[in-house]
A and B are shown apart, each in its own frame.
Chain A
Amino acid sequence: MEHITLLIGIVIVTALVFDFTNGFHDTANAMATTISTGALKPKTAVAMSAALNLVGAFLSVEVAKTISGGIIDEGAGIRPEVIFAGLVGAIVWNLLTWLAGLPSSSSHALFGGLIGATLVSVGIGGVNADAVVMKVLIPAVAAPIVAGIAATAATRLTYRLARNRAEEDSAKGYRAGQIASAALVSLAHGTNDAQKTMGVITLALITGGVLAPQADPPLWVIASAGIAIALGTYLGGWRIIRTMGKGITDIQPPQGFAAQTGAAVTILASSHLGFALSTTQVCSGAVMGSGLGRKGGVVRWSTAGRMVIAWGLTLPAAALVAAGAAFLAGQGTWGVTTVAVLGVAICGAIWAASRRKPVDHSNVNDVAPAESAAPAGVVTAALQSVAPPPAGSTTAGAGTIEGIPAQSTTRSPATSAVR
């Protein structure tokens, strides 16, 4: 019993860490265009998004009964180790894509992680291939197209209707509209994604016998999941915000408004008409669409292409990491410990790598021309720093975390000099 409690404790902490990475990974969805058009100051934008995520977490009373939406057969022997391994895979992939500044779906990372872990510990029978195609692959392809076309059409229309108005007159209105749409996206995100974590934690508690089957998540689970996602959102995935707000296309206020409204409508329509689309892909698609809709607007297809590659890789990559983690965790207590230590080490290494070229609220909108070449290099750098044996990278990661405050103070003059 004691062992189970410890393991479940680890699962809960891991789930909250995933929730946190989910929050800062997805801040960009709601706020990237709002920040890049200047509708809200970067700090204000993330604070608003965080508050709405927190509210959203408390809003829905509907329990996330199945964390995987039928993709894996939860009756087929899902043990806490499997959930743990799946979460580790999802966290690692979320952090890697964040380092590269690529918006990728946190839900796909979670699904991928759970699929990989299930494959290793239960076998191919535990995964429902049809559901993978229906709930992951098709929405992934459809989301950017649906949101992109809607945003293109909306951008065209709004430029046409407002062609006789001075830009400075209309910009204020557009910004207000954009803030409203972004708020809706944040709220929907809090309700959906915080629920996922609550579902994971509740499932872990049920498998451990702490809660009765079919029980509702206790208040502390709801509160901690909401707070984790809000904290993550507030810290902000500035790298991803930069890519979405500045990297894909240059966004003017009308485009930002059209893209954000398109994204909000797509998310609400899809989740209420029974064909859930991934928030990340919807928002990225909407931004691309708004780039296409403006006369003289340019979509940077190289950035968009990298993003699409990251979408394609998300599920298999998270699955691969999770499969390795599940294999180790299946070896017993020492295996779980090893996975935990390795996971912390990798997170530390990625964090350390990110400090070499920090992106935060002060420089999120400054894009140097050389920026486009950077992410590819960052990924390889990250992979290299992840590759060394665990003992080495643990100390490296821990050492650098200690040094961060000093770095971040010395960094500012350098950044402004570059500008």
Chain B
Amino acid sequence: MNIDWAALGQVFGTTLVVTVAMVGLFTLGIVGTSRKPRQEGEAGTAAAVGGGTSAVARTGGYACFALCLAAVGYGIFLIVAG
């Protein structure tokens, strides 16, 4: 019996890192592009009460979404190339 621990460990590590990274990125995207109900104390954010997002946060958010989109594209590539 020869259990391929290396492959299993690799799958586990990759899954953990990629999942957390993807979910983290996407959440940052949501955070960046959504309204802020609470003041977070960031310097230079002149957010109006109950609405408005700083341009930096919004751009960052879109960048996060773009990275996620790229990851989805890579996923589709993996399936197609499978």
Contact = CB atoms under 8 A, between A and B. Distances in A.
- Chains A and B bind each other: yes
A234 B20 CA distance: 31
B43 interface: no
Interface in A91-148: 130, 133-134, 138, 142, 146-147
A157 B23 contact: yes
Contacts of B11: 142, 146, 266, 269-270, 273, 275, 277
Contacts of A173: 26, 29-30, 33-34
Contact of A165 (B20, B30, B72): B30
Given A169-B35, A275-B4, A262 B15 contact: yes
A257 B26 contact: yes
Contact of B27 (A60, A157, A180, A264): A157
A328 interface: no
A42 interface: no
Nearest to A138: B3
A261 B15 CA distance: 10
Contacts of B7: 273-275
A264 B35 CA distance: 29
A271 B68 CA distance: 20
Contact of A188 (B27, B30, B37, B79): B79
Given A130-B1, A173-B34, A268 B27 contact: no
Given A138-B8, A164-B37, A268-B75, A170 B30 contact: yes
A191 interface: yes
A184 interface: yes
A59 interface: yes
B37 A262 contact: no
Contacts of A418: none
Contacts of A271: 82
Main secondary structure of the interface of B (DSSP, over half): helix
B36 interface: yes
Contacts of A146: 11-12, 15-16
Contacts of A169: 30, 34-35, 37
Given A161-B31, A165-B30, A180-B72, A275 B8 contact: yes
B49 interface: no
Nearest to A56: B79
A162 B30 contact: yes
Q: Which of A142, A150, A174 has the most chain B CB within a 10 Å cutoff? A: A150
Contact of B79 (A59, A165, A177, A261): A59
Nearest to B35: A169
B40 A164 contact: yes
Nearest to A143: B11
Contacts of B63: none
B54 interface: no
B14 A269 contact: yes
B67 interface: no
A154 interface: yes
Contacts of A180: 68, 72
Contact of B15 (A150, A161, A162, A254): A150
Interface in B38-64: 38, 40
B82 A261 contact: no
A2 interface: no
B3 A187 contact: no
A313 B28 CA distance: 42
Nearest to A258: B23
Contacts of B23: 154-155, 157-158, 257-258, 261-262
A151 B19 contact: yes
Contacts of B36: 164-165
A166 interface: yes
27 contacts: A60-B79, A60-B82, A134-B1, A134-B3, A142-B11, A150-B15, A150-B20, A154-B22, A162-B27, A164-B36, A164-B38, A165-B30, A165-B31, A165-B37, A166-B34, A170-B31, A180-B72, A184-B76, A188-B79, A257-B23, A258-B23, A266-B19, A268-B78, A269-B14, A273-B14, A275-B10, A275-B11
Given A138-B3, A265-B19, 16 more contacts: A59-B79, A130-B1, A133-B1, A138-B8, A142-B12, A150-B20, A157-B23, A165-B31, A169-B37, A170-B31, A173-B33, A191-B82, A258-B19, A261-B23, A269-B11, A270-B15
Interface of A: 56, 59-60, 62, 130, 133-134, 138, 142, 146-147, 149-151, 153-155, 157-158, 161-162, 164-166, 169-170, 173-174, 177, 180, 184, 187-188, 191, 254, 257-258, 261-262, 264-266, 268-275, 277
